[in-house]
Structure 1
């Protein structure tokens, strides 16, 4: 036992207990078990301050105090104190330390614990466990050995220990929360990986059905399916589960699995949706439903049979016209009685066109340029802008116009079902990086396309030169040398050659793009003059949503 220092000396205060404070702070810092360390701190405080007993109380979620550690002749661990009177509650409510020299003179002293245990409390020292306004509990010591009251120095030491203990508890909570968050993140990553594995693999370039899914968060409530059947037909589906997060992801996985199973045994997409509804009704999670379209494509006839349960209407694009297919029933999972009459089917003859299916995440998405919500018209504009691309690249480029997956507020899923019997479209459309090293590849693509369209070598050379100058302007001025992409479109329209270049840079003001006098043009700055000298028309057109600029150049009578 440490002998007391003479009153009035420097050591007569918390400074003489610096070794204990340092010891306990170090113990808290390296502790993996804060509660065990708190008990150790209580034991050391009782020993150093020569108390007969001590207790450590922590606040419970219901607002009561529970004794989590006790030292002395009576073990009151587990004792609960409801909010009310008592020195420990006064300490917590006032968030200030208390020193009671004589409990008999303190009106807040509550003797009921003494009455129950037989312990006699004469004096009390109590310090709050708090971090700023957050109150965690209190440390309470009872009866200085030898009958003397606790001193101010004793109170100072208990305050220091309590402050260190409170900080350790806050850190422990933060670490526990971080560990829980990391565990949840690992679970979400695993769920996302499983979801990606459940989606159909990329389809070959000759496949008439392609799909794409991007999750706004780690996991998605959207899905699509492509299932080749033994008779040569191709079953497909797209769906959107209400809500987000793990609950939606679980229902998405169940619905997709049901489709893959049922489509091989049920005759027609309407019966497939009715069977899925019956299965979901038995195990449905409360408050969730699924919008879904199921379809069957007969590639040999270019014919699709559709059934729609509350989903966004699919759109048939045929010869530049857009036709919405609106027939359907309510979403799956709301009320099985709505399906008593089955799910109606719609027959669609593609006739050389393409059928698009998408979730509402696409119509509600905002374009990369301008940030305006697409809506149905914007979606149709994007689909038309990239119509000449191969199907898989077309879907990717639509998503690219929305900023990839970075700016999505909801999951996006997009599908296309094409009639592969149609004659090839006399147009080529490709996405290129906006970098100087890509210019040679762009020039080669233009030359090869024009040769295929029957253009003369002289006409092709003029078009290649105009495209090269336009792309250099996009790289230097639109993207200012930064990262970006260019969409090249080369098409034959009757006897004219039409070239369009689209970018995703901030829109330019065409009125400011005035050609300078030739005597003011520096070497390498002939772009606008040169393009207009070799092409019949050069000008900007209103771009579709998500596109920054759309430059169109026409060579009249460029092909026989």
Structure 2
């Protein structure tokens, strides 16, 4: 719109012509989905339509916190606008814009200094003199999301009721454009987040064991099922070389990080790295956990995050097991010959809480062939079915007992299949991990079960 058009003498069809220009200009507002560009176009269009010297757009701060509900100067155009680009704020109800936002009604001020609602603070801040003003709310589905202002006519005149009507029409389309731009931005951010989560999930999955190093005397299997793209559960199988008696040794680890999602996954991978690095040096299982805990506690500080861990050392030559419990739920030991379950408890706090804590190792003497050790996370027994009841450890024991004749991998599959049957389509709200260690007969030994 040219200056000549703004200052042209009034004609009977001026209002129709102005409305036509308004709708033509409003198309510019909806041609972009970039929020900052949409906001600038809204005010440029409004200034042109009303032949205004200056214009400003204030958006309601909807973010939770002390500034929620305040109006924030987001766009300022015209003389002395630079000082308003820094996020000048108005309290709810403050000034003309605050009144418009509270009442959701437009305001036309022929002489702003004659109206008690006008706040001269902005004029004092910028050195610009406001004479006349049109101010309209930006309404979306009955909710005020901001306020738009046009200030001072270019020809020195005053705004009219027709100007306010045109401004209100622009504001109605502007509010829709702002919401659409925000939704578009949120959708793009979600796409980026989904991509990042997918990438993180791929990295995390690549860190899980691809197989189990063979150790005579034991069968070992494990599986984890994250409830999100990434999970905070951890399991691993690590070969430690050998024992003084010449047997091969395998470490089986199961852990559970507080919470789940990307932060839990990052902590899980940190513990994995610490544990694998620590195995490069000699040490008993308790000493290994001591060192990993110290490193993790130094890293985590006062974050409030921690990780439980259950570490088994399986000695294939003697078919004995040593274990360290760091705040994790006790493992279950099932003896099929006796038909009994024993919980492998022991003193120990989660990793990352106290750097000076000393963990204890417990020894299980030569296990009978067929004995089953089950290490799981609470996502199994705390899972809830359609009626709200929990899967529970008794049902877990029953599933292990029923599958005791299977190999370790078969027991894992049987338990998780039973869990899915129990859930009956209900979503899991926590990660699920299960590791099974089954004592097998050594060469020349008759299996007991």
TM-score under structure 1 length normalisation:
0.68
Q: Is the 8 A contact 2:54 2:76 kept in 1?
A: no
Q: Is the 8 A contact 1:139 1:162 kept in 2?
A: yes
Q: Paired residue for 1:364, among 382, 390, 398? A: 382
Q: Paired residue for 2:173, among 164, 171, 192? A: 164
The answer for the alignment partner of 1:416 in structure 2 is 436
> Is the partner of 1:267 in helix, strand or coil?
coil
Distance in 1 between residues matched to 2:399 and 2:261, nearest whole Å: 29
The answer for the alignment partner of 1:152 in structure 2 is 161
> Aligned pair 1:122/2:131, yes or no?
yes
Q: Is the 8 A contact 2:26 2:173 kept in 1?
A: yes
Shift of 1:129: 2.2
Shift of 1:264: 4.4
The answer for the alignment partner of 1:28 in structure 2 is 29
Distance in 2 between residues matched to 1:290 and 1:95, nearest whole Å: 51
Distance in 2 between residues matched to 1:75 and 1:258, nearest whole Å: 52
Distance in 1 between residues matched to 2:384 and 2:124, nearest whole Å: 71
Distance in 2 between residues matched to 1:273 and 1:350, nearest whole Å: 24
Distance in 2 between residues matched to 1:311 and 1:112, nearest whole Å: 61
Q: Paired residue for 1:277, among 281, 285, 293? A: 293
Q: Is the 8 A contact 1:58 1:67 kept in 2?
A: yes
Distance in 1 between residues matched to 2:38 and 2:98, nearest whole Å: 23
The answer for the alignment partner of 1:82 in structure 2 is 90
The answer for the alignment partner of 1:141 in structure 2 is 150
Q: Is the 8 A contact 1:42 1:71 kept in 2?
A: no
Distance in 2 between residues matched to 1:74 and 1:255, nearest whole Å: 53
> Is the partner of 2:361 in helix, strand or coil?
coil
> Aligned pair 1:223/2:234, yes or no?
yes
- Cα–Cα, structure 1 residues 310 and 54, in superposed 2: closer, same or farther, change >3 Å? closer
Q: Is the 8 A contact 1:350 1:418 kept in 2?
A: no
Shift of 1:323: 1.7
- Cα–Cα, structure 1 residues 371 and 99, in superposed 2: closer, same or farther, change >3 Å? closer
Q: Is the 8 A contact 2:43 2:75 kept in 1?
A: no
Distance in 2 between residues matched to 1:336 and 1:37, nearest whole Å: 53
Distance in 1 between residues matched to 2:448 and 2:14, nearest whole Å: 95
Q: Relative contact order (C-alpha < 8 Å, sep 6+): which is higher?
A: 2
> Is the partner of 1:307 in helix, strand or coil?
strand
Q: Paired residue for 1:213, among 216, 220, 224? A: 224
> Aligned pair 1:192/2:214, yes or no?
no
Shift of 1:140: 1.7
Offset from partner CA, 1:424-469 (integer Å, 9 cap, x none): 688xxxxxxxxxxxxxxxxxxxxxxxxxxxxxxxxxxxxxxxxxxx
Distance in 1 between residues matched to 2:277 and 2:128, nearest whole Å: 72
- Cα–Cα, structure 1 residues 70 and 316, in superposed 2: closer, same or farther, change >3 Å? same
Q: Paired residue for 1:354, among 372, 383, 399? A: 372
Aligned length: 419
- Cα–Cα, structure 1 residues 381 and 99, in superposed 2: closer, same or farther, change >3 Å? same
> Is the partner of 2:97 in helix, strand or coil?
helix
The answer for the alignment partner of 2:43 in structure 1 is 42
Distance in 2 between residues matched to 1:262 and 1:47, nearest whole Å: 69
Q: Is the 8 A contact 1:28 1:34 kept in 2?
A: no
Distance in 2 between residues matched to 1:250 and 1:201, nearest whole Å: 20
Distance in 1 between residues matched to 2:22 and 2:431, nearest whole Å: 54
- Cα–Cα, structure 1 residues 282 and 387, in superposed 2: closer, same or farther, change >3 Å? same
> Is the partner of 2:420 in helix, strand or coil?
coil
Q: Paired residue for 1:343, among 360, 366, 378? A: 360
Q: Paired residue for 2:191, among 179, 182, 194? A: 182
Distance in 1 between residues matched to 2:325 and 2:137, nearest whole Å: 64
TM-score under structure 2 length normalisation:
0.83
CA RMSD of aligned residues (A): 2.9
- Cα–Cα, structure 1 residues 170 and 418, in superposed 2: closer, same or farther, change >3 Å? same
**Which of the pair has more CA radius of gyration?**
1
Offset from partner CA, 1:220-275 (integer Å, 9 cap, x none): 11111111233222121111112222222222111122222323433321111111
Distance in 2 between residues matched to 1:118 and 1:181, nearest whole Å: 43
Q: Is the 8 A contact 2:212 2:237 kept in 1?
A: no
Where do residues 343-492 of structure 1 align in structure 2 (5 Å cutoff)?
343-352=360-369, 353-366=371-384, 372-403=389-420, 407-421=427-441, 423=446
> Aligned pair 1:325/2:325, yes or no?
no
- Cα–Cα, structure 1 residues 20 and 75, in superposed 2: closer, same or farther, change >3 Å? farther
Shift of 1:126: 1.3
Q: Is the 8 A contact 1:388 1:425 kept in 2?
A: no
Where do residues 234-245 of structure 1 align in structure 2 (5 Å cutoff)?
234-245=250-261
The answer for the alignment partner of 2:329 in structure 1 is 312
- Cα–Cα, structure 1 residues 46 and 416, in superposed 2: closer, same or farther, change >3 Å? closer
Q: Is the 8 A contact 1:12 1:153 kept in 2?
A: no
Q: Paired residue for 1:92, among 87, 101, 105? A: 101
Shift of 1:17: 3.5
Shift of 1:383: 0.7
> Is the partner of 2:400 in helix, strand or coil?
helix
> Is the partner of 2:102 in helix, strand or coil?
helix
Q: Which runs of 5+ in 2 are unaligned?
A: 243-247
Shift of 1:133: 4.7
Q: Which runs of 5+ in 1 are unaligned?
A: 427-560
Distance in 2 between residues matched to 1:264 and 1:41, nearest whole Å: 63
> Is the partner of 1:345 in helix, strand or coil?
strand
Distance in 2 between residues matched to 1:314 and 1:85, nearest whole Å: 63
Q: Is the 8 A contact 2:239 2:249 kept in 1?
A: yes
> Is the partner of 2:134 in helix, strand or coil?
strand
